[in-house]
Amino acid sequence: MDDLAYFKKLEYQNEAYEALCNRCGVCCGATTSDPCANLTKRADGTYACGIYGTRHGIQTSASGGMFVCVNIREVISSGADYPDCPYCGNGPR
Ligand code: SF4
Ligand code: SF4
């Protein structure tokens, strides 16, 4: 496999991994009283991050509290186990 084919495969695998997310927003605090300030609810009831491409790092919650946004793998590794999240439980990690 040449470099281009390899990187295309990685890109495809990453997109497939990202597509597993059901956009429930739970990992961003959607079901709490103080969700991330970057989280918005869409017309179809799902959630979206307004800064997804640059999300990792210090962020603020709706009430102004500071926290660090990390990828879902780290969230799960630290003990989170959201019932409807396909990355948790028996899902891919
Ligand atoms: S909890 Fe899982 S399914 Fe829900 S938004 Fe977060 S990563 Fe996506
Ligand atoms: S910055 Fe992080 S915690 Fe906030 S909405 Fe985006 S992904 Fe979720």
Convert the pLDDT of each residue in 30-79 to its tens digit. 999 999 999 999 999 999 999 999 999 999 999 999 999 999 989 988 98
Query: Bridge-partner residues for 16, per DSSP?
Result: none
- pTM of the entire predicted model: 0.87
**Residue 91 belongs to some domain of the structure:** yes
**Euclidean distance between CA atoms 38 and 54, whole angstroms:** 11
How many structural domains are present in the chain?
A: 1
Nearest CA owner, ligand 2 atom 8: 28
Question: Separation of 87 CA from ligand 1 center, angstroms?
Answer: 8
**Residue 8 belongs to some domain of the structure:** no
**Residue 48 belongs to some domain of the structure:** yes
**Residue 86 belongs to some domain of the structure:** yes
Question: Separation of 45 CA from ligand 1 center, angstroms?
Answer: 14
Q: Which domain holds residue 52?
A: 23-93
| Region for 35 from its dihedrals, namely left if φ exceeds 0, alpha if ψ lies in -120 to 50, beta otherwise | beta
**Euclidean distance between CA atoms 15 and 13, whole angstroms:** 5
Closest to 57 measured CA to CA, from 74, 80, 41, 42: 74
**Residue 28 belongs to some domain of the structure:** yes
